[in-house]
Chains A and B, each alone.
Chain A
Amino acid sequence: MDYFLELFLGGLTRGSIYALIALGYTMVYGIIELINFAHGEIYMIGAFTALIVISVLTMMGMNTLAILVIAGVIAVIYSSAYGYTVEKIAYKPLRNAPRLSALISAIGMSLFLQNYVLLAQTSDFLPFPNLIPDFEFMEPYAHIIGSTDIVIVITTAIVMIILTFLIKFTRIGKAMRATSQDKTMAMLTGVDVDRVISVTFIVGSATAAIGGVLIASHVGMINFYVGFIAGIKAFVAAVLGGIGSIPGAVLGSFVLGWTESFATGYISSDYEDVFAFLILVFILIFRPAGILGRSERHRV
């Protein structure tokens, strides 16, 4: 039973990690039906920004909590700026082009950002300090779940609630939903579609940056390639949960996290990915739109 619980908690952490990245994927897809492949790179840039800020602040001798907050805020601002710029450069000119063009542009952006960081920083793995201290009260349970894991799970829940609130109950959320349903109609009723899309990218990039800081702190190292691998898994999670749906992305991530954790624990980690994708195939056979996805009729 203990073993089951450990695997369950491990899967929960892993799922939360995926969810923090999957949220951005799903938001962008929900609004402009674009798979933003550069999203993983925004996450990686968030982690790198945080690392640079941390190194500077540590040299100045600040305490850990202050460093965590400042690094987090700067990473969020910086990544949001990147998300905004990427959208303006790579996607906006292609808004009325065939969807495939925008997809190729997204892949190109992803490769560009990876190589940009590779050249500007380094190809080596860099150590990322553990910013979340080991809580005293967690010590008896440290062998089951770490303090960082708990922070990640709680943060994911908070981010998800805030995003849901943003979309359901605010003015900009209403505009987002309108844009997602029908861009032209929204424009005709006076919604500033360009602004809505920019805001979506900014919010999505901000969640990616939060994810970047926490996950890098959990894993303990980063390099220019981490965004790509994590991004692919998060994308799978978003599709699993129903791409375009916020709770779906989180649910999909948990399902993926648990599948991987239990497959490793009870069968073999050699087949971890096999089981993850097997689940994806089965869910898509029976629910083509994902677990919580709406099956929409497509306009021809």
Chain B
Amino acid sequence: MRKSIRKLFVTAVFIIFSVSMITGAACAADTIKLGVAGAHSGDLASYGIPSVKAAELVVKDINSRGGIDGKKVELLVEDDVCKPEVATNTATKLLSQGVNVVMGHICSGATKAALSIYKDANIICMSPSATNPPLTQSGNYPNFYRTIASDDAQAKLEVDYALGVLKVKKIAVLHDKGDYGKGLAEFAKLFIGQDPRGEVVLFEGVTPGAVDYSAVVQKVKRSKAEAVIFGGYHPEASKIVMQMRKKRMKTHFISDDGVKDDTFIKVAGKYAEGVYATGPKDTAKNPMAIAAKKAHQKEYGADPGAFFLEAYAATLALLNAIDKAGSTDYKAIEKALKTEYVETPIGKIKFDDKGDAIGIGFSIYQVQNGVYVEVK
């Protein structure tokens, strides 16, 4: 009796599965299928949901103008909760639904996990937010593109500014031991090492949240560094800057977009003056960015969230490439992405051989009279 019930269950499950597969295959009508994958639930949902909204807005706009070559664009939205182990399932599911191109994923780890699946299926994938450098630089994922600059671009800019514009020689590199901060600091160290104009006199990690950084500050002082490059976030940065200035040190302080935050200026107050930080290029004056933000407000009644503009640009770039290529063939799209410039809210972009966008990037900002001002 019991056994037969169990059998019944198994059969029932199989039937359900096969039915859903059939329906999945059945709706492969003549549309262009744009997959949108990323963290749409869970604690990092705030990074993923804006990308869905961006894709919805772009697709709505394109479909209202008749689609691409007469074909409507269809959105396939799948959640990966920002987890690599889920992302592989997400990717497989998108493939089974016959996806043509994918905009996503959001987190670097999840993106990496999903990429090999897309690669085997010859599907192009473009992320608005995965900044991990090896994704493009390793050359392992020729099908990967992104509309955000990778982490090492910031480090490069910081080092070039310190050596080229500030003309300092001795640099102390500090970080907060975290993935992001330490990663940046290690790139900075590498770039200084490659440049004959500079030398790293100190490379140290500080403990986040400590009550006092005087020992590290003394060490910087003893190393006779002319500039500090710090990889990390603003709470530690402001503590270090404040202690340096209280000890009457005039050492330059250069940091990253984890510090280019108004909270930093608010907390460090007068000690923040003169601090340099890199941050994404200012898009406030870009007419497309203004229009995209307005459309978002009209549609959803709120200001867009993180990576909205990058996702908007990625969707535009992908669909534009399909339009220019005249097909959804992998080679044709690849060629279009790498040769055709496209106007997006983050600027006029195309992609280099490795898949990083050309025409975007970071600028250097300095705190002047209590606000971050872009410096050339």
Residues in B with CB closer than 8 Å to A268 are 204-205
| Residue in A closest to B177 when the chains form the complex, CB atoms | A270
Q: Are A264 and B209 in contact (CB under 8 A)?
A: no
Chain A facing B: main interface SS:
helix
- Selecting from B7-15, B18-26, B262-270, the interface stretch reads B262-270
A154 sits at the interface (CB 8 A): no
Contact with B211, one of A11, A17, A146, A225 (Cβ below 8 angstroms) = A17
Interchain residue pairs with CB less than 8 A apart (19): A3-B218, A13-B212, A13-B214, A14-B214, A14-B215, A125-B234, A125-B238, A127-B268, A142-B247, A143-B247, A143-B248, A146-B246, A218-B211, A220-B238, A220-B268, A221-B239, A269-B205, A269-B207, A269-B219
A17 to B242, CA, bound (A): 17
Residues in A with CB closer than 8 Å to B238 are 125, 220-221
A229 to B210, CA, bound (A): 7
Contact with B215, one of A18, A218, A220, A265 (Cβ below 8 angstroms) = A265
Q: Are A269 and B218 in contact (CB under 8 A)?
A: no
| Residue in B closest to A147 when the chains form the complex, CB atoms | B246
- Could you tell me the distance in whole angstroms from the C-beta of B236 to the nearest C-beta in chain A? 11
Q: Are A264 and B235 in contact (CB under 8 A)?
A: no
B216 sits at the interface (CB 8 A): yes
B3 sits at the interface (CB 8 A): no
- Could you tell me the distance in whole angstroms from the C-beta of A264 to the nearest C-beta in chain B? 4
Residues in A with CB closer than 8 Å to B205 are 268-270
Residues in A with CB closer than 8 Å to B247 are 142-144, 146
B222 sits at the interface (CB 8 A): yes
| Residue in A closest to B216 when the chains form the complex, CB atoms | A269
Q: Are B204 and A10 in contact (CB under 8 A)?
A: no
Q: Are B211 and A221 in contact (CB under 8 A)?
A: no
Contact with B218, one of A126, A220, A265 (Cβ below 8 angstroms) = A265
Residues in A with CB closer than 8 Å to B239 are 219-221
Q: Are A269 and B204 in contact (CB under 8 A)?
A: yes
A182 sits at the interface (CB 8 A): no
Taking CB atoms and an 8 Å cut-off, the chain A residues in 1-51 that contact chain B are 3, 6-7, 10-11, 13-14, 17-18
Q: Are A14 and B248 in contact (CB under 8 A)?
A: no
Q: Are A7 and B267 in contact (CB under 8 A)?
A: no
Residues in A with CB closer than 8 Å to B221 are 143
Residues in A with CB closer than 8 Å to B222 are 3
Residues in A with CB closer than 8 Å to B210 are 229, 272
A272 to B207, CA, bound (A): 8
A120 to B221, CA, bound (A): 40
Contact with B212, one of A3, A142, A218 (Cβ below 8 angstroms) = A218
B206 sits at the interface (CB 8 A): yes
Taking CB atoms and an 8 Å cut-off, the chain A residues in 119-146 that contact chain B are 124-127, 142-144, 146
Residues in A with CB closer than 8 Å to B206 are 269
Q: Are A233 and B211 in contact (CB under 8 A)?
A: yes
A175 sits at the interface (CB 8 A): no
| A-B contact sample (9 more), CB < 8 A, given A264-B216, A265-B215, A269-B216 | A10-B218, A14-B211, A17-B211, A127-B266, A220-B269, A221-B239, A233-B211, A260-B215, A264-B215
Residues in A with CB closer than 8 Å to B235 are 125, 221, 223
Contact with A261, one of B214, B248, B263 (Cβ below 8 angstroms) = B214
A99 to B268, CA, bound (A): 43
Q: Are B248 and A10 in contact (CB under 8 A)?
A: no
Q: Are B211 and A230 in contact (CB under 8 A)?
A: yes
Q: Are B267 and A126 in contact (CB under 8 A)?
A: yes
In the complex with contacts A13-B214, A17-B211, A264-B267 CB distance below 8 A: no
Q: Are B207 and A127 in contact (CB under 8 A)?
A: no
Contact with A17, one of B212, B234, B249 (Cβ below 8 angstroms) = B212
A210 sits at the interface (CB 8 A): no
Chain B positions 176 through 205: 1 when the CB is less than 8 Å from some CB of chain A, otherwise 0: 010000000000000000000000000011
A10 to B263, CA, bound (A): 27
Residues in A with CB closer than 8 Å to B263 are 124-125
Chain B positions 334 through 354: 1 when the CB is less than 8 Å from some CB of chain A, otherwise 0: 000000000000000000000
Residues in B with CB closer than 8 Å to A219 are 211-212, 239
A13 to B211, CA, bound (A): 10
Question: Which of A17, A124, A221, A272 has the most B CB atoms < 10 Å from its CB?
Answer: A221
A268 to B218, CA, bound (A): 12
A215 sits at the interface (CB 8 A): yes
In the complex with contacts A7-B218, A220-B239, A270-B177, A14-B267 CB distance below 8 A: no
Q: Are B219 and A265 in contact (CB under 8 A)?
A: yes
Chain B positions 213 through 232: 1 when the CB is less than 8 Å from some CB of chain A, otherwise 0: 01110110110000000000
Residues in B with CB closer than 8 Å to A229 are 209-211
- Could you tell me the distance in whole angstroms from the C-beta of B275 to the nearest C-beta in chain A? 14
| Residue in B closest to A148 when the chains form the complex, CB atoms | B246
- Could you tell me the distance in whole angstroms from the C-beta of B295 to the nearest C-beta in chain A? 30
Residues in A with CB closer than 8 Å to B267 are 125-127, 220-221
Residues in A with CB closer than 8 Å to B271 are 220
Taking CB atoms and an 8 Å cut-off, the chain B residues in 244-275 that contact chain A are 246-249, 263, 266-269, 271
